[in-house]
Structure 1
Amino acid sequence: MSLYQPEPVEISTRMRPGEWTESSLEELVTTYRAKILAMGAAVSEVLTEVVRNDDGSVSVSVSWNKGAYADEPEGGAFTNTESKVDTAGA
């Protein structure tokens, strides 16, 4: 098992009131998702967050959740969980 810390992949922005419409927001999210998918992410690994603030501004974040292990099978469970302890000479 290889533990590694993948660099987070995130595309995000904040827009002030009046800088966006529902249509432009939808187009922006679609564009960000397409860019992350083009980097190799599976659809199930793409996380989208849109936060609408009380002042009329909006924050958009689309990120790629890569997981924590390089050889982690889908679903997060490892197939070889056998533990070997060397007791010779103990």
Structure 2
Amino acid sequence: MTLYQPEPVEISTRIRPGEWTESSLEELVTTYRAKILAMGAMVPEVVTQVARHDDGSVAVTVSWNKGDYADEPASDSPAPGEATTGPATA
């Protein structure tokens, strides 16, 4: 395994009080998640944080947690050279 420092992939914004609703916030988070997934992230690698502040503002951050190792397979991916088998067919 090769240790590397992955470039962070993050989409974030802060919205002032009165400029958002629960519906628009949900839509924004969905849009940010879709953009990160379109970049190649797998669902378990996407981290979403929504911070609601006392002044009524909200901070939204969606990031791609790539892990610590460049050649580390994802938990649901086969190891390099590992064969996968599908369901048996008749």
Which blocks of at least 5 consecutive residues in structure 1 are unaligned? 80-90
The code of the aligned residue for 1:58 comes to V
Identity between Structure 1 and Structure 2 (%)? 82
The answer to whether the aligner puts 1:16 opposite 2:21 as a matched pair is no
> Could you say which residue in structure 2 is the equivalent of 1:64?
64
Q: Could you tell me how far 1:54 is from its partner in structure 2?
A: 0.7
Deviations 1:15-50 (A, max 9, x none): 110110111000000000000000000000000000
> Could you say which residue in structure 1 is the equivalent of 2:49?
49
TM-score by length of 2: 0.80
Q: Could you tell me how far 1:71 is from its partner in structure 2?
A: 1.1
Partner of 1:68, secondary structure, is coil
Distance 2:22 2:74 in 1: 35
The code of the aligned residue for 1:67 comes to G
Distance 1:23 1:73 in 2: 36
Question: How is 1:65-84 mapped onto 2 (pairs within 5 angstroms)?
Answer: 65-75=65-75
TM-score by length of 1: 0.80
The code of the aligned residue for 1:22 comes to E
Distance 1:73 1:51 in 2: 31
- Runs of 4 or more, structure 1, over 2 Å off, are none
Q: Root-mean-square deviation (CA), in Å?
A: 1.2
